[in-house]
Amino acid sequence: MIIAIITIFVFGYLAITLEHGIKINKAASALVTGALCWTVYITLTDGKEEVAHQLTEHLGEISEILFFLLGAMTIVELIDVHDGFNIISAKIQQTNKRKLLWIISFITFFLSPIIDNLTTTIVMISLIRKLIDDHEDRLLFTGIIVIASNAGGAWSPIGDVTTTMLWIGDQITAGNIILRLFLPSLICLVIPLIAISLKMKGTVSKPIQPENHKLSELSPRQQYIVLGTGLLILILVPVFKTITHLPPYMGIIIGLGILWIITEIMHGDKDESEKGFLSVSHALQKIDSPSILFFLGILLAVAALQSTGILNSAARQMSASFPNENIVVLCTGLLSSIVDNVPLVAGVQGMYDLSQYPTDHSFWVFLAYATGTGGSVLIIGSAAGVAAMGMEKIRFFWYLKRISLLALIGYFSGAGIYLLQQYLLK
């Protein structure tokens, strides 16, 4: 059974990476892979009711991510159709490619710890679409946005799902992770940023505004209301989670409902054709549904690996092979570029308790950095990367050729800075 599930996962993974070569959408490959893994698991297991129960539990956790993504994408799309990003892009007058790359990178790096790396990626890609017309240039900017959002999310307890898991599990505290991971995360971004900016020359040209935006005749007041409300909702989601202890997707759902009501009231006097263009219903039609289905498939497949104990076995074998805890953490971080970092961190949390590594131990802090930034090495290694892949149609091998090596160098550079900090602070 184990061999069969691993084989299905490997072939499914290859189909995803070879999407353009085999001309099959990665969402279809992911859905088949996820469903087949669970089919084999339940077919070759005696305790079928237990397997069905495990699937239900995993689907609940996966749904949290999917509903969060759905809500965030819809809010961002609503801001976009109300010309909200034009307000921001109009403030950014820089056209020099290198300078603009640094501006976008640092906005991403400091926004990600506040509204999390996934939402930041969605917002920033929507923004650069207003600033950069050339698709090849936009791909390079998107690559650095993925690195910057993951690096920014790693030094915040609410910037990445894995740091939130460690925070809730009492493995880390908020103040400590910010203090100890800010500089390593910054270096993780700056190294690849320098390398990419050296390759860039010239200026960017802004895309021509679509004519259909003129039909809405939005007032500046309406644009600012939707932009301000939308961004405030995204920023307040972590606050909502902290206060209510409800998962983030509940905050997104409430926020989307509030923004929906605001836009309905705002456009209540418009005719149906114009109101429809500015409605949530229209925004839901425009969001990238295949990317959401891709998330569903790949997370179901990874959940099967976790439920069968494959991930935990791999983690234990890695610990036995590498007695040094720092090497274990570095390998776990690199492994998170292949499979989802959430079950990896969950597996590590199950392997080591607080009696062995107490709260704020170097092991947990370093794990937060590694699993947060290691996913940048491959485009499908993080939620931010998968979202970028869907929004900008990035090919797996394009990212592997242009971005992966730089992300890997940045990953090890930041890790080196963290270990140097630990040595100097002893």
Residue 174 pLDDT: 79
Q: What angle do CA 396, 389, 29 make, to 5 degrees?
A: 70
Q: Helices 48-81 and 383-392 meet at what angle, rounded to 10?
A: 50
Residue 272 pLDDT: 66
> Is residue 369 within 8 Å of residue 166, measured between CB atoms?
no
Residue 200 pLDDT: 86
> Is residue 151 within 8 Å of residue 414, measured between CB atoms?
yes
Helix H segments across 272-340?
Answer: 272-277, 280-286, 289-307, 310-321, 325-335
Residue 215 pLDDT: 45
Q: Estimate to the nearest angstrom the gap between the alpha carbon of 258 and the chain centroid.
A: 24
Q: Which residues of the chain have pLDDT under 70?
A: 20, 209-217, 271-274, 315, 318-319, 340, 342-343, 347, 350, 426
pLDDT per position as a tens digit, 305-318: 888 888 777 767 76
pLDDT per position as a tens digit, 381-403: 887 888 888 788 888 889 999 99
Residue 79 pLDDT: 84
Tokens 């925004």 found at: 283
Nearest to 122 by CA among 139, 140, 108: 108
Q: Give the CA dihedral 40, 43, 47, 53, nearest 10 degrees.
A: 60
Tokens 């290694």 found at: 381
Residue 127 pLDDT: 86
